[in-house]
Amino acid sequence: MSTLLKIDNIRKSFSLGLIPKKKEILKGISFEVAEGEIFGYLGPNGAGKTTTLKCILGLIFPDAGNIEIFGLPHLSLRAKARIGFLPENPYFYDYLTGEEFLDFYGQLFSLARAERRQRIASLLKLVGMEQAAGLQLRKYSRGMLQRIGLAQALINDPSFIILDEPLGGLDPLGRKELRDIIVRLKGEGKTVLLSSHILQDIEMICTRVAIILNGKIISQGALRDLISEKILFTEIEVAGLAAAELAGFGQCLAAAGGRTLLKVSREDKVDGALTYILEHKGKVLSLIPRSQTLEDLFVGMVKHE
């Protein structure tokens, strides 16, 4: 796959305080996003994720380094015309309806009226906002604003879509629907750069990630290369036996309503635990081997920095 976005050693500082003192936010970060992939950009609040995205989009200018999009300088109008962007905290004009809002953005891209109407109808359906098309944005919930914001990011049919914390403010169903939309966009050949701190969602849909901490990239690569597939422990949910009876096999994580959740750290004890449960008239409700997750990797890296 060819490289769509290339970031090479960018740095950015801001002057803060009454007596201005420079603080370096980005400390020479570099990564690449390949065409047609969903790339996850991870980091805690204040790590520099949004600053990076603003540099890519030309909303602020890096002090040093180089950014290329589609093989062009990132400030090129040809490159920008092929980008869609959803900010973390979108601010839209409150008194426009959802349909008027999307029509306004369509006009910014010089789309003909017939084409705007067709795209607006299609995008409202895609993000599940058809019923709210005539409602003013001031009456939208946080989740509804995220959905209509995604629709505006797609109004120009972009090849490259940048989403800054798009899953914030959404309920579990809304998050699943938005994940499905992002995967569908990838299926259409689009490239997505997804900045988020919701690690579970990143792990489900991204093929590669970069992790930023205190303005530095501390790890990047394919998830399958970063995350170990070794089984760390096994969780066994048991009914019909007291937690004390199972103590010799592992750690009791929870016990309620006649059920016990047992954590068995040693792989050689799993068979023994199962045999004991069945012989003593217990019931195995579930058995789940737990391997390393993106959250485990992320937390471990943050703790050691």
- In the numeric block, the tokens 């062009």 are attached to 72
List the 38-42 sheet strands across, edge first. Answer: 83-86, 160-164, 191-196, 38-42, 208-213, 216-222
194 and 278 share a domain?
Answer: no
From the centroid of its chain, how far is CA 18?
35
What pLDDT sits at residue 280?
Answer: 87
Residue whose C-alpha is closest to residue 24's, from 57, 54, 59, 48: 48
Helix (H, G, I), strand (E, B) or coil at 208: strand
What pLDDT sits at residue 29?
Answer: 94
86 and 148 share a domain?
Answer: yes
Q: What is the DSSP letter of 227?
A: S
What pLDDT sits at residue 90?
Answer: 80
144 and 273 share a domain?
Answer: no
What pLDDT sits at residue 262?
Answer: 87
271 and 132 share a domain?
Answer: no
pLDDT in tens, the chain (305 residues): 699 999 999 999 998 777 778 889 999 999 999 999 999 998 888 889 999 999 999 999 999 999 999 999 999 999 999 999 999 888 888 999 999 999 999 999 999 999 999 999 999 999 989 999 999 999 998 888 888 999 999 999 999 999 998 887 777 888 888 889 999 999 999 999 999 877 777 878 888 999 888 899 988 888 777 766 667 778 889 998 888 888 888 888 888 888 889 888 888 888 888 888 888 888 888 888 776 666 666 666 666 55
Count structural domains, the chain: 2
Q: What is the CATH number of the domain that holds 75?
A: 3.40.50.300
* Domain end residue (candidates: 209, 226, 243): 226
216 and 266 share a domain?
Answer: no
149 and 286 share a domain?
Answer: no
> How close are the terminal C-alpha atoms of the chain, in Å?
33
Q: Do residues 235 and 290 lie in contact, with contact meaning Cβ atoms separated by under 8 Å?
A: yes
**C-alpha–C-alpha distance, residues 62 and 291, integer Å:** 39
Q: What is the DSSP letter of 230?
A: S
What pLDDT sits at residue 241?
Answer: 87
207 and 98 share a domain?
Answer: yes
pTM, to two decimals: 0.79
Name the burial class of residue 301, with classes exposed (0-12), middle (13-18) and buried (19+) by CB atoms within 10 angstroms of its CB: middle
What pLDDT sits at residue 191?
Answer: 95
* Domain end residue (candidates: 175, 205, 226): 226
* Domain end residue (candidates: 195, 226, 257): 226
89 and 213 share a domain?
Answer: yes
What pLDDT sits at residue 273?
Answer: 86
210 and 83 share a domain?
Answer: yes
Range of the domain at 261: 231-304
59 and 114 share a domain?
Answer: yes
**C-alpha–C-alpha distance, residues 134 and 99, integer Å:** 6
131 and 44 share a domain?
Answer: yes
Contacts with 182 (C-beta within 8 Å, 6 or more apart), sequence order: 38, 163, 166, 192, 194, 205
**Amino acid letter, 248:** G
153 and 255 share a domain?
Answer: no
What pLDDT sits at residue 297?
Answer: 65
**C-alpha–C-alpha distance, residues 29 and 212, integer Å:** 9
